[in-house]
Structure 1
Amino acid sequence: MVSIALLLIVLAFAVIRPRGLPEAVAAVPAAAIVLAAGAISLPDALDEVTRLAPVVGFLAAVLVLAKLCDDEGLFQAAGTLMARFSRGKPRRLLPAVFAVAAAVTVVLSLDATVVLLTPVVFATAARMGARAKPHAYACTHLANSASLLLPVSNLTNLLAVAATGISFLRFTALMTLPWLAAVLTEYLVFRRFFAADLAARPRGGKVVATGKVPAFVLVVLGLTLAGFVITSLMDVSPAWAAFAGAAVLACRALAQRRTSPAAIVRSASIPFVAFVLALAIVVRAVVDNGLDEALGHLVPTSTSFLALLGAAAVAAVLANLINNLPAVLVLLPLATAGGTPVVLAVLIGVNLGPNLTYVGSLATLLWRRILHRHDTRPDLGEFTRLGLLTVPASIVLAVAGLWLGLALTSTQ
């Protein structure tokens, strides 16, 4: 009971963040308490931290990489590209935002889409005189939905890869159809749901000047992506490729005196890394003290379509109850009994499910804070209605894509 209560306190603190304090302020003491109370042994806690060390190391490196890309003007160039493609028409801006948000999520992870792209989307819509709401909502939905494609696109993906040992290329091959299904479903629903906003005539739009494309950054990102594949083939953590890409941009920025060592360290978000590790210890204590038995019969081990859909549904519900990060930490040990297919189905649930509620993912919580900074408050009813239209449909179609991909690869 102590570990469950502490988990709920940590999650509530992460949602509310009183006085803007980092999530680690609650998570680290909670981890210390479960250790002191004997809910988890020190060796088990150290084992959990050791297991997650490469994952959180990659997370820190990607956060640095994304911030340095922003400093180099990558996101501003993306805003210019979106505005030029739309030609002053909000209906054309939406597919541009979808394409850029999906690409950013895939390569630089969902946090980059929420934290760095959302403000650019607001600025681009304002420059065009278009209503920002459909495009701002697209950022948070695509941050979750478009994170299915690569292991590096989401922390949950990295945890799943670490649990199964699946290769980078195999993961990407199996998740391509689910990713396409999820993104396409989101786009079709958005076009209908925000039809009035997209049809509104732009007010006071300005001519968009040609922006400078940061070619050096694009080359570094391309090489970093190649590094992800190469490290996977060599059975080496992709964190090394992310570190290499971040190091190249950091050295260039330092040499040009456009950043400082302190700014680079801050961009690694050490408090958030500490939060992830501490949360993992608390979740492990919850699982070891009975939650695994309570949920064990709910996670199927079959690879039939209905079984995979059931696994995704359980994951989606749990993600919306306790947030997707603890949900995946809870479910992965249970899902591995069914093998890689069940783990990937769980991943679909914890990545797509959070679009239903504010608390489903940390990315959505970050997105709400960004909207408040732009004097925009998302409407809970509207957010939920949009989620009800996108989440069930995208999960069903994504699981169908996974099941089809498994069937095709098993016959080869």
Structure 2
Amino acid sequence: MLAPTVSVLALAVVLAGAVARPFRLPEAAFALPAAGAVLAVGAVTPEAVREEAERLGPVIGFLAAVLVLAKLCDDEGLFHACGTWMARWARRRPRRLLGAVFGLASLITAVLSLDATVVLLTPVVFATSARMGARPGPHAYASAHLSNTASLLLPVSNLTNLLAFTATGLGFTRFALLMLLPWLAAIAVEYGIFRRFFARDLAAPAAPVEPPEPVAPPLFALCTVAATLVGFGLASATGLDPAWAAAAGATVLAVRALARRRTTPRALVRSAALPFLAFVLALGVVVRAVVDQGLGTALAHVLPDGTSLPALLGIAALAAVLANLINNLPATLALVPPASASGPGAVLAVLLGVNIGPNLTYAGSLATLLWRRIAHDHDHPVALGEFTRLGLLTVPVALTASTVALWASLRLLGG
């Protein structure tokens, strides 16, 4: 009984540390000792640790490259330009601003990952709302929800997608094609509910503090991101890991930034978030221990088989519940192996649950926790009741709509 008990306790410590971050310690400060503990009591074997390191290595490398790429895009002025574009498009109308936030947050999340939306776009949303004199609530919540919901489209949009991508057996382009309809369906549902939920805030007249000044588009950054996206598709088609394309895009921007003295090697290393990468690896080891000590068998018994519509709905719902109980990263690591037995469609249904489901609670994803800190830093305390009510309205409908859309995509395109 020692190994199962230590495994569960280790996972609890890791999640509690990631949520609370006492003394502002990085997540790795809790995850690395926990991984050592499960290894010490034999809950996971050295061979299993090596397997996890080999499986997560490319994912971690890709994540580091994307984080650097996103930060360099910010240094190039891409996110400042986004704020100006949103303000000019909105024309002092909060409803139009909400539409602009939905559009930009969806694209940024899909292409540069949810971390870019939370860390880099959210402050811009607050600044743009203040400049327009609009109430920030609807737009700030939109950046939080879309950092999760809009991360369905590409394998690179979310760490959960990267963790599951290999298990799907799909190429980069086919993954995107199968997830396009679910992505659109989930975003459309969120937008419709946001319009009704925040109707009073959106109807309040805006009192602009200052008009937005025209900003030249950062063409070099935009072209680099576009080329990187093309590289993702080409890498997948030729059997290369997409991490190489991400690294190439980050290298191009890094060389330019270093040559212009806009950054330093130390800043580049810091933007790669090495402690968080260590956390991901250690978390994988801890979850592997929990799975090996009984969770994997339990999930295999309750996870629906097949890719019929009822089965996909059941898989997505179970993934959403588990994500809110133990966070979406451990939920992905635990659910993908048994789901892969039913084929790529079942794995994609898991991703619907672990990406949309976290909008229900703060603890559902690390992105939501980080967004809450940013909101507090901008003097916008997040009310638990409001957050939960919005989640109860959006998550079940968005999850159902996207799962039906996935079922239709699988029937139309195969998979």
Q: TM-score, normalised by structure 2?
A: 0.98
CA distance in 2, matches of 1:373, 1:213: 28
CA distance in 1, matches of 2:278, 2:326: 19
CA distance in 1, matches of 2:273, 2:400: 35
Matches within 5 A, 1:15-34: 15-34=19-38
1:356 alignment partner, one of 357, 360, 367: 360
Q: Percent identity?
A: 64
Matches within 5 A, 1:59-70: 59-70=63-74
The one-letter code matched in structure 2 to 1:234 is: T
CA distance in 1, matches of 2:209, 2:410: 48
- Aligned: 1:149 with 2:153: yes
* Contact kept in structure 2, 1:283 and 1:326, CA below 8 Å: yes
* Contact kept in structure 1, 2:58 and 2:241, CA below 8 Å: yes
- Aligned: 1:384 with 2:388: yes
CA distance in 2, matches of 1:173, 1:358: 30
Unmatched runs of 5 consecutive residues or more in structure 2: none
The one-letter code matched in structure 2 to 1:276 is: V
Alignment correspondent of 2:313: 309
Q: TM-score, normalised by structure 1?
A: 0.99
Alignment correspondent of 1:299: 303
Which SS does the other structure have where 1:297 is aligned? helix
Alignment correspondent of 1:207: 211
1:113 alignment partner, one of 103, 110, 117: 117
CA distance in 1, matches of 2:208, 2:175: 46
* Contact kept in structure 2, 1:301 and 1:339, CA below 8 Å: no
The one-letter code matched in structure 2 to 1:263 is: A
Matches within 5 A, 1:260-409: 260-409=264-413
CA distance in 1, matches of 2:48, 2:151: 30
* Contact kept in structure 2, 1:88 and 1:205, CA below 8 Å: no
Which SS does the other structure have where 2:156 is aligned? helix
CA distance in 2, matches of 1:193, 1:339: 37
Which SS does the other structure have where 1:83 is aligned? helix
Segment drifting more, 82-91 vs 157-166 = 157-166
Deviation at 1:158, TM superposition (A): 1.1
The one-letter code matched in structure 1 to 2:331 is: A
* Contact kept in structure 1, 2:167 and 2:344, CA below 8 Å: no
Alignment correspondent of 2:176: 172
* Contact kept in structure 2, 1:80 and 1:211, CA below 8 Å: yes
CA distance in 1, matches of 2:224, 2:48: 39
Matches within 5 A, 1:207-246: 207-246=211-250
1:138 alignment partner, one of 142, 155, 159: 142
Deviation at 1:203, TM superposition (A): 2.5
Alignment correspondent of 2:41: 37
The one-letter code matched in structure 1 to 2:292 is: D
Alignment correspondent of 2:12: 8
Deviations 1:338-397 (A, max 9, x none): 111111101100000000000000100110110111111100000000001100000100
Deviation at 1:79, TM superposition (A): 0.3
The one-letter code matched in structure 1 to 2:128 is: T
Alignment correspondent of 1:195: 199
CA distance in 2, matches of 1:65, 1:141: 23
1:160 alignment partner, one of 164, 169, 179: 164
CA distance in 1, matches of 2:85, 2:168: 39
Deviations 1:275-308 (A, max 9, x none): 0000000000000000111121211121110000
Deviations 1:180-199 (A, max 9, x none): 00000000000000001101
How many equivalent residue pairs?
411
Deviations 1:245-268 (A, max 9, x none): 000000000000010000000000
CA distance in 2, matches of 1:205, 1:191: 24
CA distance in 1, matches of 2:355, 2:363: 13
* Contact kept in structure 1, 2:307 and 2:342, CA below 8 Å: yes
* Contact kept in structure 2, 1:231 and 1:238, CA below 8 Å: yes
Deviation at 1:204, TM superposition (A): 4.0
The one-letter code matched in structure 1 to 2:347 is: V
Matches within 5 A, 1:43-54: 43-54=47-58
CA distance in 2, matches of 1:137, 1:351: 16
Deviations 1:91-113 (A, max 9, x none): 11000000000010011000100
The one-letter code matched in structure 2 to 1:84 is: R
* Contact kept in structure 2, 1:301 and 1:307, CA below 8 Å: yes
The one-letter code matched in structure 2 to 1:326 is: P
CA distance in 2, matches of 1:375, 1:266: 26
2:129 alignment partner, one of 120, 125, 129: 125
* Contact kept in structure 2, 1:52 and 1:277, CA below 8 Å: yes
* Contact kept in structure 1, 2:168 and 2:348, CA below 8 Å: no
Q: Hey, which bits of structure 1, 4+ residues long, moved more than 6 A?
A: none
